[in-house]
Chain A
Amino acid sequence: AQKITQTQPGMFVQEKEAVTLDCTYDTSDPSYGLFWYKQPSSGEMIFLIYQGSYDQQNATEGRYSLNFQKARKSANLVISASQLGDSAMYFCAMREGNPNTGNQFYFGTGTSLTVIP
């Protein structure tokens, strides 16, 4: 089974609107972390937001928020007030295991977001 599943290969959103990018994960480890990264056309990977499996509240970072539904094993990224500069690939990733020991990251296949003026 895929560790990280992103079912939306491409998404469009009108500028200033909100958009939700879906991510589901699969793990039996009680301790894990979920991440979202943005990859613009220039290729670099930019960290956006993190959610720990034991965190009680949904993570927020500026216009980014993570809708964490543990029972459903989903970690959707919500971008509010979309801007043209948000057009990029977005990757969901998961770190399994204790962060104090060796850990491995799994990435989803990504969602290409296009913001329309």
Chain B
Amino acid sequence: EPEVTQTPSHQVTQMGQEVILRCVPISNHLYFYWYRQILGQKVEFLVSFYNNEISEKSEIFDDQFSVERPDGSNFTLKIRSTKLEDSAMYFCASSEFGQGGNEQFFGPGTRLTVL
């Protein structure tokens, strides 16, 4: 069964450093998303991406965040200068255009720890 994959599973970084979180969505999916979940809290939407551009973003997704689809398979989230409060689990998800439920399939997540 196809699945969304994410790398790395755990990333530790120093405050102020740049990190890139990688995702490989399901191959025939057209919509891609990033979410974050601070430990013990709810899942928060960051951004959705379609047709090589951002289609929606939340207020969390400020100038320090960016997303890119550098090739036909990867979807990345870059945090330019990490802060302590960026420590969270980051989930990538993808969905297929036009499906009734527009079900999002989530990846296993990348746990980001900012020291």
Contacts and interface: CB of A to CB of B under 8 A. Distances in A.
Chain B associates with chain A = yes
A110 B101 CA distance: 21
B43 A104 contact: no
Interface in A49-64: 50, 52
A99 B48 CA distance: 12
Interface string B67-95: 00000000000000000000001010100
Interface centre among A91, A104, A108 (most CB of B within 10 A): A104
B91 A45 contact: yes
Contact of A102 (B44, B50, B105): B50
A91 B105 contact: no
A37 B106 contact: yes
Contacts of B56: 102-104
A106 B106 CA distance: 15
Nearest to A55: B100
Contact of A33 (B33, B58, B89, B101): B101
A27 interface: no
Nearest to A101: B55
Contact of A47 (B89, B98, B104): B104
Contacts of A100: 97-98
A64 B35 CA distance: 25
A101 B89 CA distance: 27
12 contacts: A33-B102, A43-B89, A43-B108, A45-B93, A45-B106, A45-B109, A46-B106, A50-B100, A91-B43, A93-B43, A99-B102, A105-B35
The 10 closest A-B pairs by CB, nearest first: A102-B55, A50-B101, A45-B106, A99-B102, A107-B43, A102-B56, A104-B56, A109-B42, A44-B108, A107-B42
